[in-house]
Structure 1
Amino acid sequence: MAAQYVVGIWEFHVNDLDEEFVRLSNEYFPYLVDADAWKASPQLRTIPVSRSLDPGHHSLPYEDAATLVKGHRRYAVAECICRKEHKLVGKGCEKPMEACLVFDTAADYYLRNGLAREIDEAETLKILEEGERAGLVVQPSNSQKAINICLCCGCCCQVLIAMKKHPDPAELFSSAYIVEVDADECVGCEVCIGRCQMEALTMNEGVVSLEQKRCIGCGLCVTTCPTKALNLKRKDIVPEVPRSNTEAAIKLAKARGKLSNAKMAKMALKSKFDRLMAASKR
């Protein structure tokens, strides 16, 4: 199955960017990211940074970044192409550049093609911690067994930039959480407003106010609130997360009209026939 352009082929160009390519790509991106297609089957999902959840809260293993990265065969980290291309044309931010984590077969591909450097589990966890401190949204691939995690900022990430233009961006993201505000505890320090990458928080008469339709449940605002006026709550209805990367790819292809049940059946029959032919030649 062919890779998507974003997330996929675009990221493979991390080492061969130039100003013309970046300029042309940025003209194309607003037309490329289809909000309806993304909503039907998002390639990424948003999970809360670990420290944003109460210690007694029991999240599912694939909803916790630290748990999600443990036990992989291979780890690698690449530069964030979004921050890199923005910086190339004099824009962007100073957030960590090495922020694209890939695992197992994805790490094999990145390392084989010189797109990343190899790291271990301990450094992967350290990069996650640094990303949380820098205010980066944790977005793994939309699978219970993620093969990559993007650490994203709202000023450079092409997905976040595109979705923020939508009138109801929260409905486009696969996220199990949303922020709650305790107005009585808010002291109006505005730290959370600077942390929010989706422009979901504003001040109203000295107290922070949440625009729910913009909140994607990343938890970045929660970790720096000095009075615990903000907390994450689990949604009553949470999105289904595909069990494997293969299941996620099939769901994505079906949602975008690239794969029908008839094509699936044809592929299965051809695969079985090929295996039988291979066995007969041994």
Structure 2
Amino acid sequence: MEQENIDYYRELQKHLDKMPVGYPTTESGLEIKILKHLFTPEQAQIALKLNFIADPLKKIYRRLKKSGFSSEELEKKLDEMYFKGLINRGVVKEGETETKYYGSAPFVIGMFEYQLNQLTPEFFKDAHQYTRETFFNEEYNSSGVPQLRVIPLEQTVNYEQSIANYDDLIQLIEIVGEPIAVMECICRKGNDLIGEPCTKTKLRESCFSFRAGAKSFIEKGLAREISKEEALEILKKAEEDGLVLQPGNSQRPMNICTCCGCCCGVLTSQKQLPELSHFFATNFYAEVDPDLCIGCGICEDRCNLDAITIEDDIAQVDKGRCIGCGVCVPTCTSEAMKLIKKEEETLPPKNTYSTYVKIMDKKAELARAEKTQT
């Protein structure tokens, strides 16, 4: 039975790895340990029949008819998996009729974040090691289309430059849609659990989701609904504490993360790379006026990605590491630090679905190119 269970988990790993944001293997086998922590053997078998694009219950039932479940039993099991944070679910209402749709959830952003209320030190350490060991190098960076993008802090935007709504925090909050939900940052919560608390901020409720994403987090008990005004208040505090604003990589994102260089899985992993700016979707970079800089070092301390050093009493920005977040700008007492808009603007995909389609298309293109070369 144990061997049979291992096979189901391996099949699930392979199945999840075919999704837009995959779930690659590790030399240590940690990916299987994580799946065993999350899924029972039966749940793993059910998850094998789900697609990234959610299908209605009736369609999934036809795939699992041989399993012996009734339609009602399958619906109950799928709902349990949804509330356990293993899969995604959507509900479409047409008049009196309600149709449930179920689909696979990626590990990040997805299953990992859904474990917020049942997070353990062991699971957090395993997930953190997995993302460091394999996920970011082999998956997150592989397509060149990141799941997240970077937008500048609100007070750093120079409105003499043309700023698109998706790069303007206040405008973004206006267009993302409601409900708006806020939840604890799972990265900072995890670091608290392992005795390595954040050195940047005491904020814990600092990750946001919108529309269907917000409804999902709220009904799972992972988040609470807030107003636009409260969202902006929390984001203002995040900016003051020097956190990086990372919404989903689309013009109308489903989420915004407020990230630090000591806890955030994305920033801590990318921080290890020499030319990390190439892996971030951003339309800005920081620049120093050497005639105004007094070499105080505040910008160096605030930078989450070690992009600033003080040389000969003047701040130097490494453009290969700068992601244009603007954390260094508002605390520059001599006003020497500015955010500059890149000449070539990166246009984010229209919506979250388009982001994942773009990731899939890019991965397919790279696979074809690799096949041609061999």
The TM-score with structure 2 as length reference comes to 0.67
Aligned-residue offset at 1:29? 1.6
The answer to whether the 8 A contact 1:37-1:255 is kept is no
Residue matched to 1:263: none
Aligned-residue offset at 1:37? 4.5
The answer to whether the 8 A contact 1:46-1:174 is kept is yes
Q: Please point out which of 233, 238, 250 is paired with 1:131.
A: 238
Counterparts of 1:244 and 1:146, CA distance in 2: 6
Residue matched to 2:45: none
Q: Does 1:56 align with 2:160?
A: yes
Q: Please point out which of 103, 113, 119 is paired with 2:210.
A: 103
Q: SS of the counterpart of 2:316? A: strand
Counterparts of 2:320 and 2:118, CA distance in 1: 37
Q: SS of the counterpart of 1:34? A: helix
Q: SS of the counterpart of 1:57? A: coil
Residue matched to 1:122: 229
The answer to whether the 8 A contact 1:37-1:256 is kept is no
Aligned-residue offset at 1:257? 4.2
Q: Does 1:86 align with 2:191?
A: yes
The answer to whether the 8 A contact 1:132-1:220 is kept is yes
Residue matched to 2:135: 32
More deviation in 135-144 or 229-238? 229-238
Q: Does 1:15 align with 2:117?
A: yes
User: Counterpart of 1:23 in structure 2: which amino acid?
Assistant: K
Aligned-residue offset at 1:36? 6.9
Aligned-residue offset at 1:240? 2.5
1:217-246 CA-to-partner distances (Å, cap 9, x unmatched) read 000101110111110111122222101111
- Please give the residue correspondences for 1:188-199 in structure 2 after superposition, counting only pairs within 5 Å: 188-199=295-306
User: Counterpart of 1:136 in structure 2: which amino acid?
Assistant: L
- Please give the residue correspondences for 1:179-194 in structure 2 after superposition, counting only pairs within 5 Å: 179-194=286-301
Aligned-residue offset at 1:35? 6.2
Counterparts of 1:140 and 1:37, CA distance in 2: 15
Residue matched to 1:276: none
Residue matched to 2:284: 177
- Please give the residue correspondences for 1:130-169 in structure 2 after superposition, counting only pairs within 5 Å: 130-169=237-276
Residue matched to 1:265: none
Counterparts of 2:145 and 2:108, CA distance in 1: 13
4+ runs deviating over 4 angstroms? none
- Please give the residue correspondences for 1:208-223 in structure 2 after superposition, counting only pairs within 5 Å: 208-223=315-330
Counterparts of 2:246 and 2:288, CA distance in 1: 23
Counterparts of 2:194 and 2:153, CA distance in 1: 30
What is the alpha-carbon root mean square deviation over aligned residues?
1.7
Counterparts of 1:144 and 1:129, CA distance in 2: 21
Q: 1:220 to 1:117 in 2, by over 3 A?
A: same
User: Counterpart of 2:207 in structure 1: which amino acid?
Assistant: C
The answer to whether the 8 A contact 2:161-2:341 is kept is no
Counterparts of 1:4 and 1:113, CA distance in 2: 17
The answer to whether the 8 A contact 1:46-1:173 is kept is yes
> Which protein, 1 or 2, shows the higher relative CO under an 8 Å CA cutoff with sep ≥ 6?
1
Aligned-residue offset at 1:70? 1.3
Q: SS of the counterpart of 1:221? A: coil
Counterparts of 1:73 and 1:122, CA distance in 2: 13
Q: SS of the counterpart of 1:69? A: helix
User: Counterpart of 1:89 in structure 2: which amino acid?
Assistant: I
Q: SS of the counterpart of 1:9? A: helix
Percent same amino acid among aligned pairs?
A: 36
Aligned-residue offset at 1:24? 1.7
Q: Does 1:4 align with 2:109?
A: no
Residue matched to 1:73: 178
Counterparts of 2:110 and 2:159, CA distance in 1: 35
Aligned residues: 259
Q: SS of the counterpart of 1:214? A: coil
The TM-score with structure 1 as length reference comes to 0.88
User: Counterpart of 1:135 in structure 2: which amino acid?
Assistant: G
Aligned-residue offset at 1:178? 0.5
Residue matched to 1:42: 146
Counterparts of 2:328 and 2:264, CA distance in 1: 18
Aligned-residue offset at 1:67? 0.8
1:105-136 CA-to-partner distances (Å, cap 9, x unmatched) read 00000001111011111101111101100111
